[in-house]
Each structure stands twice: as C-alpha cells, then as structure tokens.
Amino acid sequence: MQVETGIVQEHFDIGSGYRRLTLSAPTVCPQVKPGQFIHLRVPGLGESLLRRPFSIYRAEAGAISVLYKQVGKGTRELAFLPVGGYADFIGPLGNGFPLPHPENCIPVLVAGGYGVAPLSLLARNMDLKGIVFVGGRTAEDLLCLEDFKEMGWALEVTTEDGSAGLKGRVTDALDAWLSKGQKAIVYACGPDGMLEAIDKRLLQHELPGWLSLDKHMGCGVGACLACVQRVHTEDGGTRWKRCCCDGPIFAAGEIDWEFGKDAS
C-alpha cells in the first residue's frame, strides 16, 4: 500500500456513460492483484472531501486504469481531469480475489455495472477460460463485453428490459447454467442485491465462490470503521469485517445478509 501521484495517460468515454482513466503508477502497478482497488483523490474537489474508491481494471506497463461512471460530485469533477494532469491515489487496497484459480473447475464470473472492471482483470490473470455472465437494466448498462470475447470466454448477457441478450436478471441466466451441475467457482461483483441472490444459489448448489462488495468508504485502509460488513464466524456468531482491508472480496456463505436489516 502506497500513496502515489500518477500522470494521466488517457481519459476517455467508453460508452454506456462510463469513462476510462489511466494513470502512471510505477510503484503501485506491479503490486496489483485482481479485485483490488485504489482510493483516488479527485483533484479540485477540495482538501476536506474524501477520496473515492475505484476497482482496478488494468495494471500493466507501469500504469493502472479504472472505469467509472459519473454519479455525483466527485466523479463529475473527475471527468475534467486532463491528459497530462496529475492525480494521487492510495493503492493497491483490499484483499483481491484468491489466486490461482484451481485447475479442475470452471471459472464463472458474474458482473453487474462496473463489476465487470475487476472481473475483466481477473479473467486476464487466469490461464483457464470459463464463462462470464453480465447483467444490466438495459443494453446501455453493459460494458467490457468485447474484453471477454477477445479473451475467448463464453459470454451470457441479460438485460431486464430485453434490449440486449436474454430478458431477465443475471441470476436467471446463472440458474440455467448452474442447473447443469458442473464443477465451478463463482466470482461476482455488482450491487448488493445481486450478490445476495448469487450467494443463496452458491449455498444451494454447494459451490465455492467469491463476492466483491461495494461499501461507502472513508479512509480506505482500515482506520475509520465506516465500511463494515457483518460476517459469520466459525463459532456460529457474527462480527464486523472492514470492506476496505478485510475485503472487498468475501467468501460465499461468509456474509450475514440479515444483520441489521429490520432493526431500524
């Protein structure tokens, strides 16, 4: 984990409302594992605002790339960052997906929204090829589909309105595949609702898997305790884990999805 100031090498629209930002990162780049993220200081946002976390999409040739969507003041301001400008970030952060992937089972990736970013990097770091499920509300929400095709992965697309691929949810497509009963490990990244639905299925099918969670973060390094997620413990109890440093990747079956849900 380091603070590094990177020079913007590229920064452009990739469609679906997303932009790709590439920063030089000679120190951080070689340390990156798929599933890790950077905590980026958005230039011009002012000293009193927090950093913003983004999953690492590429880490190669001494640079790192992220894909982001403009959803609020930080990401809107970030879009103004010019090529040749500077931005500093802390990274690589988080535990990352456990690698290597075991030889004798199929890697299955399930992505919603920008969840494709860490999963695309994961696929590039695997020798095996498997299947990837990408879901969105409409065709507009889908990104990085070409990455997986180029890498020779099987691709299943779902949209809730049927504007691309199968009409329905990503879990519908996943259900059909899981019912074939093949030996697999699932890696998933997307909204909480999607991850919870996947977690239930993994439990049902007794399959191992890894879920990448997205929690609002303060420090990004384990100090502030803003990003906590409740998990089951071996002795049958539950406890907090910090998403930024104990996660963001959690094992299937580890997360206590019910904790605090109706206690408001």
Ligand X SMILES: Cc1cc2nc3c(=O)[nH]c(=O)nc-3n(C[C@H](O)[C@H](O)[C@H](O)COP(=O)(O)OP(=O)(O)OC[C@H]3O[C@@H](n4cnc5c(N)ncnc54)[C@H](O)[C@@H]3O)c2cc1C
- Residue 24 and residue 86: Cα distance in Å, rounded? 9
CB of 100 to ligand X, least distance (A): 22
53 scored as a contact of ligand X (CB under 6 A): yes
221 scored as a contact of other proteins (CB under 8 A): yes
66 scored as a contact of ligand X (CB under 6 A): yes
43 scored as a contact of other proteins (CB under 8 A): no
CB of 168 to ligand FES, least distance (A): 34
How many residues form the binding site for ligand X (CB under 6 A)?
22
Tokens matching residue 256: 């206590």
214 scored as a contact of ligand X (CB under 6 A): yes
Query: Which residue's CB is nearer to ligand FES, number 151 or number 224?
Result: 224
* Main-chain dihedrals φ then ψ at residue 253, nearest 5 degrees: 85, -10
- Residue 254 and residue 84: Cα distance in Å, rounded? 43
- DSSP string computed for 147-205: HHHHTT-EEEEEETTSSSSEES-HHHHHHHHHTT---EEEEEES-HHHHHHHHHHHHHH
Among the listed residues 28, 63, 117, 186, the single contact to ligand X using CB under 6 A: 117
75: partner contacted, choices ligand FES, ligand X, other proteins, none (Cβ within 5-8 A by kind): ligand X
228 scored as a contact of other proteins (CB under 8 A): yes
The angle subtended at Cα 57 by Cα 54 and Cα 62, nearest 5°, is 105
